[in-house]
Structure 1
Amino acid sequence: MTDGGYRFDGRLRMIATDHEQLAARVAAARPVDFAEFRKTGIDLLLLGRYDEALDHLDRALELADSDRRRISVWINLGDAHRYRGDVVTAETLYRRTVDRARDCAPEVLSFALQHLGKALAEQGRLPEAKALLSEALKLRVAEGDAELIESTRTSLDALDELPATLPPKVVALLGEESTWSDDHEGMSGGVAHVNGTYWVKRGPKAVAEYERLNWLRGRGIRLPDIAVFEDDVLVLTDVGVPSLAALDDPAVSVGAVMGAVLRLLHAIPVAECPFDGGLDVMLAQARRNVLEGLVDTEDFDEDNRRLTPEQILDRLLAERPTDADLVVAHGDFTPSNVLNGGLLIDVGGLGVADRYRDLALVARDLPIDFDDDELHAFYTAYGLTEPDRRRLDYYRLLDELF
């Protein structure tokens, strides 16, 4: 099937039919309005330039002046996130399009249903996918558009022939009949516990974690073993110990363990680290999260519950610190990301940043999850006597948007 310079591949994704012509069109583009930013964003998506596609589609979303236009861009954004491997974010966006289309834009509901259906089919969730695509087909038959009807029928017919969703080395390790579970401590989206032995992650965050795990090895930090990595799928070996957040051992000082681990991490020379976790990077991602509606306001700290994500972003921009004490920062340094014995996990956000990016989360979590004594033990082990309250508050506020 071809249309407008693209066709669908075996995974039901759009791919360009003429990369050279499309690249030339993108190079000549000078978008100034909604339609032009959206069109260029879609072209970049077809070229596989996903970060640039997201930038253009975000701008189109800012310029959207109707529910129908917003829904159309959410669908495109969902595609951009899905094609780059972020299925969790993609599903969030697709489900929002379905809900909003049902409420106020029924004329685009079939498109929302079809994109969500294809995304779930790609994950192997075939019963859900079939139900959504069948609903889309029913709507399109009623509307009478022959081309759209054929598109949905093609998607339905392809469900049982979709290629395997996991690369060969991963399948060989886990087995054809592996047992998957997302019922685990932390309940992080996009992370599965497999066969009670492995942790499986995929997408751009998994790639980032793989790169950082390899870089960290040999630098004095205890880390999980990589069982296999292929394409964008990372499989880690379960070390069989709880995190400090789940530890039930009064003989272990959670704060002291965390302080010792973070002191080692922050002692790594910044000049050796190739990863950027600084404010330019973080604020750009925070803006994207706000614009695309990806911020969970129900998870805000109590003193921020009355603020909107937009208000928080405005404050962060207005109150941005002018100084920074740069270290190799973890990026999500919480009790749940340090295992008993001091093993560090979930390092996908690691990069050079102000040390308060890590310290702020510790100062927030330890008194709530444990007590002030553990926070004092942390500061003692880390070697900090007078924390900067201004920067603690700033980086805690920043974390609300992630």
Structure 2
Amino acid sequence: MSRVLAAAPSDPVAVPERVRVLAGDDDVTPVWRNELGGLTFRLSAGPGGERPGAERYVKWVPAGTPELDLDAEAERLAWAGRYTPVPHVLDRGTDGAGAWLLTEGIPGRSAVDPRWLAHPGTAARAIGAGLRAMHDALPVDDCPFSWGVADRVSRLSPAARARVGDVPAVDRLVVCHGDPCAPNTLLDDDGRWTAHVDLDALGVADRWADLAVASYSLEWNYGDGHEPAFFEGYGIAPDAGRIAFYRRLWDLG
């Protein structure tokens, strides 16, 4: 999987017609956009609405964007939701313009919410603790999805395969998040993790596939110096060799 950059939109966003239909009378707010064209909108009812205070979220991707597989994410959310806090799927589908995934709101703010950008050490520790809780909760033997290193390496070009290097021995197989970057952990107001989002790549792999990338993303979002808090939150010492391998694989994928 390649690294996909995302951010809250800073310029006006055209709301797709399907999103307007799903919203009904709810307010529609764009909250996230990635470089492949995928958008996330918050649907919120006001005090006079049928669902006062309730929030839903809809992901929408334009037609012909195979890198963003919302069906895959819906399947993984349904499975993971039996064991760990993740969004509940309300609807999914496709039309000529694109694909959508509608989920219930879930408590917490993204770890890159301005509240946590101002307190990166707390956020980094919570991201580590949340990832450890997910790895411990999801049952490897029952997981129908794989994020295995052999498959990921096999999809590289010959040149990239040579650059990524030898695959390290497995430390511990877990059900990995698959995109464990900082924005995909939610935190409560006390700085504790509450849930995970964006699970379209979830699958069984060595835990260092997640650990290497989650710690990598701290620099992108918070700047240098926060990896110790992350590894403390997870409860493990950094493994420099495995970290280097899985970061190269992420960058080259």
Look up the match of 2:149.
279
- Residues 240, 261 of structure 1: CA spacing in aligned structure 2 closer, same or farther, 3 A cutoff? closer
Q: Does 1:191 align with 2:39?
A: yes
**Distance 1:315-1:370 versus aligned 2 partners, 3 A rule:** same
Q: Give 1:313 deviation, angstroms.
A: 3.1
**Are 1:394 and 2:253 matched, yes or no?**
no
Q: Is the 8 A contact 1:212 1:348 kept in 2?
A: yes
Which letter does structure 1 place at the counterpart of 2:149? L
Distance in structure 2 (CA, Å) of the matches to 1:217 and 1:239: 12
Structure 2 residue ranges without an equivalent (≥5):
1-14, 45-55
Partner in structure 2 of residue 355 of structure 1: 207
Task: Indicate the larger mover: 186-195 or 273-282.
Answer: 186-195
Query: What whole-Å deviation, never above 9, does each CA across 1:219-273 have from its counterpart, x for those lacking one?
Result: 1x22123232246631123448541123324567012211111111111331121
2:151 corresponds to 1:338: no
The structure with the larger Rg is: 1
Alignment-derived partner of residue 313 in structure 1: 161
> How far apart in 2 are the matches of 1:241 and 1:265?
16
1:260 to 129, 139, 145: 129
User: 2:4 aligns to what?
Assistant: none
Distance in 2, matches of 1:345 and 1:352, equals: 17
Per the alignment, do residues 381 and 195 of structure 1 end up closer, same or farther by CA in structure 2, a change over 3 Å counting? closer
Normalising by structure 1, what TM-score?
0.46
Q: How many residues align?
A: 211
Encode CA deviations 1:161-201: one digit per residue, 9 max, x unaligned: xxxx95xxx876334999685x6365663233265652223
1:244 aligned partner:
111
2:71 to 188, 192, 207: 207
Distance (whole Å) between structure 1 residues aligned to residue 174 and residue 133 of structure 2: 11
Instruction: Please name the residue that 1:55 is paired with.
Output: none
Please give the per-residue CA displacement for 1:105-149, whole angstroms capped at 9, x wherever unaligned. xxxxxxxxxxxxxxxxxxx99xxxxxxxxxxxxxxxxxxxxxxxx
**1:247–1:340 Cα contact (<8 Å) kept:** no
Identity of aligned residues (%): 28
Q: CA deviation at 1:286?
A: 3.7
Q: 1:209 to 1:238 in 2, by over 3 A?
A: same
> Structure 1 residues 270 and 239 mapped into 2: Cα distance closer, same or farther (>3 Å)?
closer
Unpaired stretches in structure 1, ≥5 consecutive residues: 1-123, 126-164, 288-309
SS at match of 2:85: coil
Using the alignment, how far apart are the partners of 1:364 and 1:347 within structure 2? 18
1:171/1:244 CA distance change after superposition, 3 Å: closer
The DSSP-based 3-state class of the residue aligned with 1:236 is: strand
Counterpart contact for 1:194–1:200, Cα < 8 Å? no
Equivalent in the alignment of 2:140: 270
Q: Distance in 2 between matches of 1:210 and 1:372?
A: 34
Return the offset for 1:213: 0.6
Quick one: structure 1 residues 345 and 322, their matched pair in 2 at CA, closer, same or farther if it must change by over 3 Å?
A: same
Aligned to 2:8: none
Which structure's relative contact order is higher, taking Cα pairs within 8 Å and 6+ residues apart?
2
Q: Give the Cα–Cα distance (whole angstroms) in 2 for the partners of residues 227 and 396 of structure 1.
A: 34
